[in-house]
Amino acid sequence: MAIPFIFHSNFEAGSNAEWDSESDTGSLLDFPHYSVLAKDSNSLMPYHGAYCMRNALGDTNDHVVVEGDIDIADAGTSYFRWYMGLSKDFRFTADDTFNVFELQQAGGTTEISVGFRVTNSSQLIEFGIGDGTAPTSFTQWPGLQKWVCVELLATISTGGAGVVTLFLDGVQTNTLTSQTHAAAVGRGVLGSQDTLATTLGTIYYDEFVQDDARIYPFRERFPSSYLIQKTGHLFVGPGYIDGAVLTKKSNNDETLVLYDTDTANSLDTTSVADLGATAQTSVSGPLYFERGCYAVLGGTSPKATVYIMKGNERPGIKGPRFYSNWGLRWYGNNRNPRPQNV
């Protein structure tokens, strides 16, 4: 497994900044803050951190982000993992098959598709994979108003040895073998494409990763320690960390700065901890964060571990209180903005 990943988008910029481009005719794609999502009872809260990608449905336009660094050479294999959920008001009145992820040639021709199939007569929601423009092999989607871990194995082959395998929540569900692709993959496209206007509701995406080995689901949504490779929120709301360790390599330029904030693009003036700028590569807690712990990584290939205090791990000190979907929603609705952290 590469460190950092080949491509990683956690949407913590609150925008499409991690991706090369966006196509969103009709303006149904955005990257909302958790306090915005908290006000909508149909929504999911971000799987991790303070932001995710929100993809509303209800028209026939494409609502996607595109990344050219998502590429796979002929005879190459890549692995993908992302978290995805359907809002509890997801609904449809006609049969519809549409993609939510495509691996395309650099010029835009689709080689592998991943998407949904909905059947009106049975109200069945299925999810599947295909070699080409539409999925052909399906399994039942696990349900509404929940995050599902989607994993994809893709071997590209112009010689008939291509493989596409789908996993949901860590379990292999579908595979296609002996596939012949026209050319190497030159970009990835995430978001809804070619939906019917009768398919309604919202799709949420978070923690999208590509790597050269299988990535696997997170063991916990709210772990006691984070191995981080990318800038982002470790938690939002009041809480403590027990310490942090920065991994230094031969280039010796890695840094980790921890801020007390729950917005990605508006840091508090003073950091809580600053590692790597000097000889200091670790810090011991407890360190208190009022609004959230935002970890900013810098350097050639940074990696750090942050240890989070949960519950009452020390007498008189409480860890982050909002370690549930309900807790995040409650805090998002009751959060009071302040200067420099709106």
What distance in Å separates the CA atoms of residue 271 and residue 341, rounded to the nearest whole number?
Answer: 13
The tens digit of pLDDT for each residue in 269-284 reads 678 888 886 667 999 9
**At residue 342, does pLDDT exceed 50?**
no
**At residue 143, does pLDDT exceed 50?**
yes
Mean pLDDT of the chain: 91
User: Do 286 and 144 have their domain in common?
Assistant: no
Q: Could you give the C-alpha distances from 172 to 124, 169, 325, in angstroms and in order?
A: 20, 9, 26
CA 96 to chain CA centroid, nearest Å: 25
User: Do 53 and 169 have their domain in common?
Assistant: yes
User: Do 207 and 233 have their domain in common?
Assistant: no
342 domain residue, yes or no: no
The tens digit of pLDDT for each residue in 183-200 reads 999 999 999 999 999 999
Domain count along the chain? 2
Q: Is 288 helix (H, G, I), strand (E, B) or coil?
A: strand
219 domain residue, yes or no: no
User: Do 75 and 182 have their domain in common?
Assistant: yes
CA 34 to chain CA centroid, nearest Å: 14
Look at the block and give the residue holding tokens 């921890």: 258
User: Do 154 and 19 have their domain in common?
Assistant: yes
State the CB neighbour count (10 A cutoff) for residue 311. 12
Domain housing 231: 225-333
Q: What is the CA radius of gyration of the chain?
A: 21
User: Do 178 and 203 have their domain in common?
Assistant: yes
User: Do 300 and 196 have their domain in common?
Assistant: no
Q: Could you give the C-alpha distances from 268 to 17, 271, 294, 317, in angstroms and in order?
A: 21, 7, 10, 23
Residues 6+ apart with CB under 8 A from 63: 23, 24, 25, 26, 28, 29, 55, 56, 191, 192, 193
User: Do 42 and 171 have their domain in common?
Assistant: yes
The tens digit of pLDDT for each residue in 109-128 reads 999 999 999 999 999 999 99
Worst-scoring range by mean pLDDT, 31-45, 127-141, 288-302, 322-336? 322-336
Q: Is 18 helix (H, G, I), strand (E, B) or coil?
A: coil
- Point out the domain boundary residue: 186, 211, 236: 211
341 domain residue, yes or no: no
